[in-house]
Structures are given as C-alpha cells and as structure tokens.
Amino acid sequence: MGTDAAIDTLRGDYTGERIASLANAVYLRLMTPLGSWWGDTALGSRLHELAREKDVPRIRRLAAQYAEQALAPLLTDGRARAVTVTAAQPHDGRCILHVTVTDATGQQQTYTHPVRVA
C-alpha cells in the first residue's frame, strides 16, 4: 500500500504528513456528496442529505446505512477486507459515526465522523 498526504478531518486540509492507511479514502467517501466529483460520479455518500432531517432515532440507522453504501467500494476494489459502521446520536444536532475498517493487510483502523442533522 502506498502513502497519501494526510487530510485533517476537522479542517478538511492537508496536514503535511504522509500516511499509509485508508483514512483519506474513508474521509473523502463520507464527506463528498454522492455524484458531485467529476472524476468518479460513484464516489461519495448521501450523508449531506441528513442536514435537513430532524434529530430523531431513525436518522442514526439511516446515517450508518449511507456510510456503509459509500464505503462499499473499498471492499469491492480489495483495499479493505471489512467495514463496520455504528452510529451514536447524542441529540445535539449531530450523529456520530464510528467506522472500523480492516484493510487488505488485516490491520484495523477506526475513524469517527460527525454528521450534522437539523
């Protein structure tokens, strides 16, 4: 696996460090609205749609489902062996996704991704 320039998930900017993980792939797939990137219209998620939804319990399930759909290409292209998404909903205008990815080498990486809800 090669290295990528690390992205600061809070600022959305490069950190200047190099990483050999799927962190950037996970971040970009969750943050990019589905169909909006010219290079690959299949890249992205529907998570941005939840910003208009009420902070109700079904949103937690929907957010996890949208994240799983967005990360599925990591499995089909062989970059990951497994992807698990769970969601917590503190009812403060956001849903917190906990994403665990087992990469092709068998190493597990865990990422936390906030999703804004109304």
Delimit the domains of the chain by residue range: 22-116
> What CATH class is the domain 22-116?
alpha beta
Q: What are phi and psi of 80, to 5 degrees?
A: -135, 150
pTM: 0.83
- Give the model confidence (pLDDT) of 24-77 as tens digits: 889 889 999 999 988 889 999 999 999 999 989 899 999 999 999 999 999 998
- What CA–CA distance (Å, rounded) separates 80 from 56? 31
- Give the model confidence (pLDDT) of 85-115 as tens digits: 999 988 888 999 999 999 888 999 999 999 9
What tokens appear for 16 in the block?
A: 């200047």
Torsion sign across C-alpha atoms 84, 31, 90, 21: positive
